[in-house]
Amino acid sequence: NAGVTQTPKFQVLKTGQSMTLQCAQDMNHNSMYWYRQDPGMGLRLIYYSASEGTTDKGEVPNGYNVSRLNKREFSLRLESAAPSQTSVYFCASRRGEEAEAFFGQGTRLTVV
């Protein structure tokens, strides 16, 4: 089973460029999440989608947009990348309230 798949795994952007991080899960999970991980900061929630058709802001949403394309896919878009968005990005999904969350392998993004 693939679980949670993120693409790409690595990316270098120039300041001002845009890109979309893709996330797909094959476990029929209802909820999906985007986190960013920075040294000494842990994982901070950017956006989440509790169910297909809904999205909500997390702790650090500025500079990002999301789309829950269908139940499987939840994408994160950077419209105009900034060096402060250099980070490792994790997508996660969960079936329901009692279930554990499953994480993708992460995307290391560098903005120069």
Partner 1 sequence: AQTVTQSQPEMSVQEAETVTLSCTYDTSESDYYLFWYKQPPSRQMILVIRQEAYKQQNATENRFSVNFQKAAKSFSLKISDSQLGDAAMYFCAYRAPGNTPLVFGKGTRLSVIA
Q: Which residues bind partner 1 (CB under 8 A)?
A: 30-31, 33, 35, 40-45, 48, 50-51, 58, 88, 90, 92, 96-97, 100-101, 103, 105-106
Shortest separation between residue 69's beta carbon and partner 1, angstroms:
19
Local structure of residue 26 (DSSP, 8 states): S
> Which CB sits closer to partner 1, 44 or 71?
44
Helices (H), the chain: none
Q: How many CA atoms does the CB half-sphere of 70 hold within 13 Å?
A: 5
Distance CA 32, CA 74 (A): 7
Shortest separation between residue 44's beta carbon and partner 1, angstroms:
7
Shortest separation between residue 108's beta carbon and partner 1, angstroms:
8
> Which CB sits closer to partner 1, 14 or 100?
100
> Which CB sits closer to partner 1, 19 or 88?
88
Distance CA 110, CA 97 (A): 34
Q: Could you tell me what percentage of the chain is helix, strand and coil, using 3-state DSSP and rounding each to the nearest 5?
A: 5, 55, 45
